[in-house]
Amino acid sequence: MWRLSVLAWAASVVLGCDAGYRIWIPRSESADPLFRFIKHGKAGYIDATGRVVIPPTLPENVATGEFHDGLMEVAVFDGEYVDRTGRLVIKKDLYRGWDFSEGLAVAMRNGEKLWGYINTKGDFAISPRFESSLNDYVYPFSDGLAMIKVHGKFGYIDHTGAFAIPPRFPDGTSFSDGMARVVMEGPCVYFPDGACGAFNPVFVGGKQGTKPPPCKFSYIDKTGRVITEQRFDFARDFSEGLAPVKIGALWGFVDKNGKVVIAPRFEDAQPFSSGLSRVRIGGLYGYVDRSGSVVVAPRHKYAEGFSEEFAVVGDLGGTYWYIDKEGRRKIPGEYDAASPFFKGLAHVRFMSGGEAYIDSSGRIVFRY
């Protein structure tokens, strides 16, 4: 989960870092298979066959543009949601409403200062009880639990709103693959992942302007048990049973017992997807399997993780294409921008202009 502050957003504008997607596609695995297109400044949606299911009548600039549990919020500051036909189905007296996840969405009533979670009917399933301040916050449900920050400490609630893991960690992330990354000791500081991370330091147990040491990271399971006494210099989410960790200047991987199973030897490493991890070696990107063996040689200046057997790679000069798990180009053509595949489709922008959704053969399913 990004924690993109106003300061980071300003830095992205002034310094040119890009906090958004190169081209839109649903990025949450739980998102519904509806795909956005823009016409005359309005958003419409197609299904996976290319059929228009919502004409371009919706606002273009909504939070993620993704449908979840059949709903999408279209007015963040009013808590309004449309269904998969574009019909307004939730319009409550809400000050804020977020995307749904696991049937619940973070929300706050007008005139109140407490967060709760609404169900897909717009009623509070978890009553407003969580404060909003510099030291208190809430997060969406992920992997069965939602992270809650209480007086500067992070814990996790279940779907009843009860704490499954009491708030006792100075910093944390949402659960993924049964694990969550945490900081155990503070004060400290780290720079989060993301294009604007270098301009958005996270001060753990301290405050901006101080000079705390760099944070050290570990992982917990869903009981709150810390899986290893070892502390890592940085760490990313678990996926497919492994997580990338930084030890010194290099990255390796640990299993769910906290054991290092791929020794640190990469300049960078990302979570596994479709059985492969994107790594950087000698300044270029390639892919390794779960044994740490290189299966796609590092030769790309730009690369994304594999999704549905394909990965987007490029030369950073405005040219992008798709490769398979052997590193071969599998979809004809090069694009000005290209997204990962999501539930059968990918979003591309042509060199000649215009955008389209394509299937895994490269066939244009919908062009606009």
Does 360 map to a domain?
A: yes
By 3-state DSSP, what share of the chain in percent is helix, strand and coil, each rounded to 5?
Answer: 5, 50, 50
* C-alpha distances out from residue 96 to 7, 13, 146, 338, Å: 21, 25, 17, 32
Write phi, then psi, for 12 (nearest 5 degrees).
-65, -35
Helix (H, G, I), strand (E, B), or coil: what is residue 14? helix
How confident is the model over 10-55, as pLDDT tens digits? 333 333 454 457 899 999 999 999 999 999 999 999 999 999 999 9
- Contacting residues for 17 by C-beta, under 8 A, at least 6 apart: 11, 195, 196, 198, 199
Containing domain of residue 281, as a range?
A: 277-368
Round to whole Å and give the CA distance between 279 and 269. Answer: 4
**Structural tokens at position 58:** 């919706």
Three-state SS at 101: strand
User: In total, how many domains does the chain have?
Assistant: 1
> Whole-angstrom Cα distance, residue 76 to residue 182?
29
Cα separation, 339 vs 354, in Å, equals 15
Q: Is 305 among the domain residues?
A: yes
In a domain? residue 288: yes
| Three-state DSSP state, 175 | coil
Instruction: Tell me the pLDDT of the chain (368 aa) as tens digits.
Output: 333 333 333 333 333 454 457 899 999 999 999 999 999 999 999 999 999 999 999 998 887 999 999 999 998 678 899 999 999 999 998 988 899 999 999 999 999 999 999 999 999 999 999 999 999 999 999 999 999 999 999 999 999 999 999 999 999 999 999 999 999 999 999 999 987 888 899 999 877 677 899 999 999 999 999 999 999 999 999 999 999 999 999 999 999 999 999 999 999 999 999 999 999 999 999 999 999 999 999 999 999 999 999 999 998 888 999 999 999 999 999 999 999 999 999 999 999 999 999 999 999 999 99
Q: Collapse the DSSP code of 2 into the 3-class scheme (helix H, G, I; strand E, B; otherwise coil) and give the result.
A: coil
328 in any annotated domain: yes
Q: Domain of 315: which CATH number?
A: 2.40.10.480
Work out whether the CA dihedral 69, 74, 80, 83 comes out positive or negative: negative
- Asked if residue 350 belongs to a domain, the reply is yes
Look up the pTM and report it: 0.91
Where is 261: in which H helix or E strand?
strand 260-266
| Residue burial 349-360, b: 16+ Cβ < 10 Å; e: rest | beeeeebbbbbe
**Residue 184 domain flag:** no
Under a CB-based contact definition with an 8 Å cutoff, are residues 21 and 336 in contact? Answer: no
| Cα 32 from Cα 81, distance rounded (Å) | 14
d(CA 230, CA 203): 21
In this predicted model, what pLDDT tens digit does every residue of 113-157 receive, in sequence order?
999 999 999 999 999 999 999 999 999 999 999 999 999 999 999
Q: Concatenated DSSP letters for 119-153?
A: -TTS-EEEEEEEE-BTTBEEEEEETTEEEEEETTE
